Amino acid sequence: MVDDINKWQPPKQVDEEHAATIKEVGEKLKKLRERTGLKSSAFAKELGISRNSYSQMERGEIYFSLRNLLIIINHHGLDLKKFIETDLENL
């Protein structure tokens, strides 16, 4: 059963009703990354996903795991509450 959790699954396209929220989160992730001068490939490697999948996350094109979101925002010294509450211009 545990082995099933670790099996790779293709990224899932975002449903229309979630698109605006996922896109906003992706834009915040991109702004944080660009602010620190990191390349998307660095985070992709840390998360164990392809660079393309990470780019799709930033563009809000695919769903991503809470685990990956937490790893990224923790890397930037943020907690989830602060990340959610802070608007894009103030990141």
5 occurs within a structural domain: no
CATH number at residue 69: 1.10.260.40
Low-confidence ranges of the chain (pLDDT < 70): 1-9
pLDDT in the model for residue 8 = 61
10 occurs within a structural domain: no
User: Rounded to two decimals, what is the model's pTM?
Assistant: 0.81
Count structural domains, the chain.
1
6 occurs within a structural domain: no
Cβ-based neighbour number of residue 57 at 10 Å: 27
2 occurs within a structural domain: no
pLDDT in the model for residue 22 = 95
Question: CB-hemisphere CA count at 13 Å for 89?
Answer: 0
**Own/partner pairs, 40-44, CB within 8 angstroms, 24+ separation:** 43/72, 43/75
pLDDT in the model for residue 5 = 53
